[in-house]
Amino acid sequence: MIEDGPVYRNPTQPVARRVEDLLTRMTPAEKIGQLNQVFVVPENREQITELIRQGGVGSRIIATSHLAGSTEQQAAEVEDLNDLQRIAVEETRLGIPLIHGRDIIHGHRTVFPIPLALAAMFDEALVEEAFAVAAREAASAGVHWSFAPMLDIARDPRWGRVVEGFGEDPYLASRLAIAAVHGFQGDDPAAPDRVLACAKHYVGYGAAEGGRDYNTAEISDTTLRNVYLAPFRAAVDAGVGSVMSAFHDLNGEPATGSFYLLTEILKHELGFQGFVVSDWASVAELVNHRVAADRCDAARIALMAGVDMDMVCGCFQEHLAGLLERGAIDAARLDDAVRRVLGAKFRLGLFERPYTDPQAGARVRFAPEHRALARRIAARAAVLLENRGLLPLTKEARRIAVIGPLAQERRALLGSWVLDGIIAETQTLVEAVAEVCPQAEILSASRALSDEMLMRAAEADVVILAVGESDARNGEYNNVAELRLPAGQDELIEAVAGLEKPFIVVVLSGRPVVLNRAARQASALLWAWHPGSMGAAGIADVLFGDAEPGGRLPLTFPRSTGHVPIHYNHRSTGRPAMSRYHDMPATPLYRFGSGLGYTTFTFSDIVVSAATIAADGHLTVSALVTNTGLRAGETVAQCYVRDDVASITRPVRELKGFARVALAPGESRRVAFDLGPAELGFYGRHGRWRVEPGTFTVWVGADSSANLEARFTVAL
């Protein structure tokens, strides 16, 4: 009977009790083993198998290199995972199961658009649904834990990993962080179709100087708390099971070695109860940062700073026992780390269900309903930036040229961080347009030759020109110094423009790039990102009006690389009118929150429910949204707030609410936003949260230039 066995083996017991019972039974070596994550390749399999048998491994990452986002990785074979799990569960003294981790960043077998595109939807429900599908497919492949969502605020698109986050705004990123954590973990991460989430890369990784990955970041404490920490705070409040410490140095401390960041802020101030895993070998890299003399010193610093699990470098496994014997690390800190890891394993139900049914995947992976969702999301994430009356195209179009370097592309459409998507099953844009328009003659270059592309364009009635970047040009370690399209594409756009035919520029990229005048003056400009397994179909749905382009920009698009960093929520300055360049306007090319649909909307009649509220009070701001066009459509109503006078300089405006509003032609609806301390407060000097008295200005509109304005006062 279960009741007769040890408490930790009894699922009816509370997790905390099971953890304590198991901890008291563990030797120091077994405790240290739980903090050790390994990867398995043929060359090390025998050694790792033996280490697992000795209780020296707590987790396996299903990857073979730290560039998992940019290079092919091993597939997660269920039988292989079960084989090594069986050794941990059935051949070790305590039978503690391994936790299997993998980078499921924007989908598993069904690849969704890149996270930056998911952010463009301004739609928590769909983001949660996408991450729930990713969890379902990953769990069926034996994955217990995904190293996502990536929550790094990014204001510099030169940085390759801008692709992987939710953009520049802390409010949008926070709401989507909650959606992603709920999508992955559900209400009970022990459910067979859920996985543990991991908020990464803690913290400030997106502020890398020069947009160069892994580089130093300098962030003031108020900006750290008001901007970069915000999505992590939201993820912790949503119950995220793990956090990953980042590679970089923040303000002179490597994130993986910072007690201030990992313990004082994350565990004490934010109250994080899960466990911290270091990024790939970032414990050992404390030696490269020159804050650790050697690997042993690195293990000591990282553990005492608050890292609970060491990803693949082996420093913990090699040195913690000796450090413990010498009293160089606290036994209490070691136990705390083990408690956190064991707590996650109990909450995941791994002791009750350590193995995965090898047949489970066939039932869920790339399921029709998953593909349909991915197609719908690709359309909703696409941002229409220009439309001079050409879109949506009629399906009666006769001769359509679909050309450009990405017209026949499959792999690039999947985007960065794709480990389990199948390239061969990814439709090209040429194929998708032909499918949506079966009666049209589709003209496309048979070879990647621009002269042939131009000939096809010249023969056509309308041209769809697919430009952009490959999946390998962004993501980890893939930065650019110039935010331009890859070589030759600007010229191709100009050449097509020279034909003076209706043409649509479709941009498939993982970051904003600066577009030339010809692209901006095309008949239409659709920013489709890297749109995933069903992206081509989603784009075709938008081009021919079967879906509306639903996206709004989750980050600011600059006019030139020289404008970077540029973001809408910049702070006030002493000479606002004098922030200029001599050689071009200082304003963005396209604003945060902007994007067009296939109808038009107005915002009017803004109302605040109270002229004055207390510092802990709430009010509602509402406005009337009207569809003034001839088609049904959807807009993203956005609410921006400014603290007019404060004790520190505050942003000129900040997003504090958004809602998608679908209206029939001529229909109006009032949209309302609740504003309270969470929206009106900020972290001021000494890291103190406060709502300060005084007037606030609020705007409601269609993007970050919204000018429908009202005011209210927070009383003393």
Question: Looking at beta carbons only, is 147 or 346 nearer to ligand GLC?
Answer: 147
Q: Is the distance from CB of 572 to CB of 525 less than 8 angstroms?
A: no
Name the residue nearer to ligand GLC (CB basis): 146 or 556: 146
What's the 3-state SS for 305-343? Answer: HCCCEEECCCHHHHHHHHHHHCCCCCHHHHHHHHHHHHH
Establish whether 279 is a catalytic residue.
yes
Taking residue 45's Cβ as centre, other Cβ atoms within 10 Å add up to 13
The single-letter DSSP state of residue 254 is E
- The CB-of-280 to ligand GLC minimum distance in angstroms stands at 4
Please state whether beta strands 275-278 and 253-254 pair in parallel, antiparallel, or not at all (unpaired).
unpaired
In which region does residue 122 sit, left (phi positive, over 0), alpha (psi from -120 to 50) or beta (all else)?
left
Question: Is the CB of 281 or the CB of 514 nearer to ligand GLC?
Answer: 281
Size of the site for ligand GLC (CB under 6 A): 9
* CA–CA distance, 274 with 341 (Å, rounded to integer): 7
> Between residues 68 and 243, which has the closer beta carbon with respect to ligand GLC?
68
Residue with smaller CB distance to ligand GLC, 386 or 476:
476
Least distance between ligand GLC and beta carbon 314 (Å): 15
Burial of 558 per CB tally in 10 Å (0-12, 13-18, 19+): buried
Q: How far is the CB of 131 from ligand GLC (least distance, A)?
A: 15
d(CA 569, CA 546): 35
> Using CB under 6 A as the criterion, what x/- string covers residues 181-200 for binding ligand GLC?
-------------------x
Binding mask of the shown chain, residues 337 to 366, with x at each position contacting ligand GLC by CB under 6 A: ------------------------------
Smallest gap from residue 279 Cβ to ligand GLC (A): 5
Structure-derived torsion over alpha carbons of residues 411, 414, 416, 419, reported in degrees to the nearest 10 = -90
Work out how close the CB of 103 gets to ligand GLC at its nearest, in angstroms, rounded to a whole number.
5
Q: What are phi and psi of 51, to 5 degrees?
A: -65, -40
How many residues would you count in the chain? 716
The residue among 56 and 475 lying less far from ligand GLC, judged by its C-beta, is 475
Q: Rule CB under 6 A: is residue 490 a binding residue for ligand GLC?
A: no
The bridge status of strand 601-608 relative to strand 619-627 is antiparallel
Please give the structure tokens belonging to residue 582. 């001599």
Adjacent-strand bridge partners of 242 = 198, 275
What's the rounded Cα separation, in Å, for the pair 62 and 40?
A: 8
Which H or E run includes 535? helix 535-543
Q: Tell me whether residue 145 or residue 171 sits nearer to ligand GLC (CB atom).
A: 145
For 217-298, strand residue ranges (E) read 242-245, 249-250, 253-254, 275-278
In Å, how far are 265, 342, 460 from 268, measured between CA atoms?
Answer: 6, 20, 64
* Spatial separation of the C-alpha atoms in residues 485 and 334, rounded to whole Å: 50
Beta strand pairing call for 654-663 and 633-643: antiparallel
Q: How far is 674 from 543, CA to CA, in rounded Å?
A: 36
Binding to ligand GLC by CB under 6 A, coded x per residue (else -) over 451-480, reads -------------------------x----
| Residue 611: partners with Cβ closer than 8 Å, 6 or more residues away | 712, 713
Query: Residue 195 or residue 373: which is nearer to ligand GLC going by CB?
Result: 195
- 147, 503, 640, 683: residue in contact with ligand GLC (rule CB under 6 A): 147
Partners of 101 in the β-ladder:
61, 145
State the minimum distance, in angstroms, from the CB of residue 68 to ligand GLC.
Answer: 4
What minimum distance in Å lies between the beta carbon of 182 and ligand GLC?
20
Residue 367 CB, nearest approach to ligand GLC (Å)? 26
Q: Quote the least distance from Cβ 198 to ligand GLC, whole Å.
A: 7
CB neighbourhood size of 630 (10 A): 11
Residue among 156, 169, 213, 279 flagged as catalytic: 279
Pairing of strands 524-527, 383-387: antiparallel
Minimum distance from CB of 308 to ligand GLC (Å)? 16
For ligand GLC, give the closer residue by CB, 60 or 155.
Answer: 60
Look up residue 153 and give its two tokens: 């605020």
Q: How far apart are CA 8 and CA 12, in angstroms?
A: 10
Q: Which is nearer to ligand GLC, 284 or 539 (CB)?
A: 284
Residue type, 605: D
CA dist., res. 655 & res. 635, Å (int): 16
**Among 259, 431, 313, CA closest to 61:** 313
Taking the complex as a whole, the smallest distance from the CB of residue 147 to ligand GLC amounts, in Å, to 3
Cβ atoms < 10 Å from Cβ of 670: 11
**Contact partners, residue 72, CB within 8 Å, separation at least 6:** none
User: Which of residues 166 and 598 has its CB atom nearest to ligand GLC in the complex?
Assistant: 166
For ligand GLC, which residue has the nearest CB?
147
Asked if 298 and 286 touch (Cβ cutoff 8 Å), the reply is yes
Query: x/- binding map, residues 570-589, to ligand GLC, per CB under 6 A?
Result: --------------------
Is 39 or 673 the residue whose CB approaches ligand GLC more closely? 39
Q: Is the bond leading into 149 cis (omega within 30 degrees of zero)?
A: yes
Helix axes 230-237, 170-185, angle to 10 degrees: 30
Q: Which is nearer to ligand GLC, 73 or 556 (CB)?
A: 73
Determine which residue in the list 31, 62, 103, 182 makes contact with ligand GLC, applying CB under 6 A. Answer: 103
Contact letters for ligand GLC, residues 270-309 (x by CB under 6 A): ---------xx-----------------------------
Residue 531 in tokens: 């749109």
Binding residues among 50-89 for ligand GLC as defined by CB under 6 A? 63, 66, 68
Backbone angles phi, psi at 627, to 5 degrees: -85, 105
**C-beta of 478: minimal distance to ligand GLC in Å?**
12
Give the x-and-dash track for 589-608 against ligand GLC (CB under 6 A). --------------------
Alpha helix (H) residue ranges in 228-330: 230-237, 259, 295-305, 315-325
Closest distance between ligand GLC and the C-beta of residue 151, in Å?
A: 11
Give the separation between CA 639 and CA 472, rounded to whole angstroms. Answer: 36
What amino acid positions are annotated as catalytic residues?
279
Q: Which residues bind ligand GLC (CB under 6 A)?
A: 63, 66, 68, 103, 147, 200, 279-280, 476
